[in-house]
Structure 1
């Protein structure tokens, strides 16, 4: 009986092993869209260095990383905006190909969202934000029938490509982590080494 059971378990093991081997090489199985891609870790200290740099050098939007994930690129940015009593002229922004996700870290403000942009004007293709951060898009004077959101620390905002976004008021300041989804890969990659090099010296004029 013992030898029979051993034979049964051996047979089961061989079948399972064969099944596993077949599954591993089956060409019809779904394949990763980013083949053998590494993960990316960004420490809090590095993100905080961007906020400190924004305050020290009066910067607003800074790109921390731009990562290839196979079918798309993901941009990670840090944004600092100071107190705003009323919206700046033509400060509605819209991006043609890149969607954005905000995670508010600190502060609060009023953000208006909507696709119907008044007095839409093309952004210059040479602008640094267009070239490196969020690709081609438009500015406008206001959002017609836009929805106002009072956003604060902890909140998340999702802004699809083509949707106007417009800060009409910032109470004292607002800092948020920016995640940019770039399916057409219109912005350049940015590595950890490039990030640390950027942080090591004053930003060039206009950055």
Structure 2
């Protein structure tokens, strides 16, 4: 299991570097890396406030920003009918399933669109302009610890079943810089 985690982490790094390589050009202003320590990650994950989706940091990387978030969802019973989820207009997400498992649906035919208010944390800090929706005919897949899923901006995604829980890291390339660079979760400031 440890070898699977090491391999999955290496693959996550390859995916993120590949995605950002086309949008990131060295800048004279960017001359250092940004760290997120395990202590910081766990402090945000286990913090008293923040809900399901907790942004850790948003970093200016030159011509783009990148955000790192941690998400935790409890059990969801399987449902019939359209999947319920969200679409982020511009920001891509790369999920690395840290623990747990569930069924994730992406894509499909969108229905019941409801825009998320512009002053919501979802829009201002997490993933930019977004809307909630339902989807039929999307791609459904079972994901578990170590899996990686790349969800481009504009693609519906939602969970239709979670057995016990799912905790996952979300790397969020932001080439349009809609998220506030330099933002740090107050739990670790």
TM superposition score category, shorter chain reference: 0.7 to 0.9
Q: Which residue of 2 aligns with 1:46?
A: 40
Q: Where does structure 2 lack aligned partners over 5 or more consecutive residues?
A: 1-23
CA contact (8 A) 2:83 2:159 kept: no
Task: State the distance in 2 between where 1:115 and 1:35 align.
Answer: 42
Q: Where does structure 1 lack aligned partners over 5 or more consecutive residues?
A: 1-30, 202-207
Deviation of 1:86 (Å): 3.9
Question: Residue deviations 1:34-83, cap 9 Å, x none?
Answer: 32511111111211122212xx4472111111001111100001111111
TM-score by length of 1: 0.72
Deviation of 1:92 (Å): 1.4
Comparing both chains, which one has the higher relative contact order based on Cα–Cα distances under 8 Å and sequence gaps of 6 or more?
2
Count of aligned positions: 163
- SS of the residue corresponding to residue 181 of structure 2 reads coil
Asked if 1:199 corresponds to 2:187, the answer is yes
Q: Which residue of 2 aligns with 1:64?
A: 56
CA contact (8 A) 1:90 1:139 kept: no
Q: How do residues 1-40 of structure 1 correspond to structure 2 at under 5 angstroms?
A: 32-37=25-30, 38-40=32-34
- SS of the residue corresponding to residue 46 of structure 2 reads helix
TM-score by length of 2: 0.79
Q: Max radius of gyration: which structure?
A: 1
- Please state which structure has a larger fraction of its residues in strand: 2
Task: State the distance in 1 between where 2:70 and 2:104 align.
Answer: 17
Task: State the distance in 1 between where 2:27 and 2:50 align.
Answer: 37
What is the RMSD of the two structures over their aligned residues, measured on CA atoms? 2.2
Q: How do residues 1-207 of structure 1 correspond to structure 2 at under 5 angstroms?
A: 32-37=25-30, 38-53=32-47, 56-57=48-49, 59-86=51-78, 91-141=84-134, 143-191=135-183, 194-195=184-185, 198-199=186-187
CA contact (8 A) 2:68 2:169 kept: yes
Task: State the distance in 2 between where 1:182 and 1:39 align.
Answer: 17
- Please state which structure has a larger fraction of its residues in helix: 1
- SS of the residue corresponding to residue 118 of structure 2 reads coil
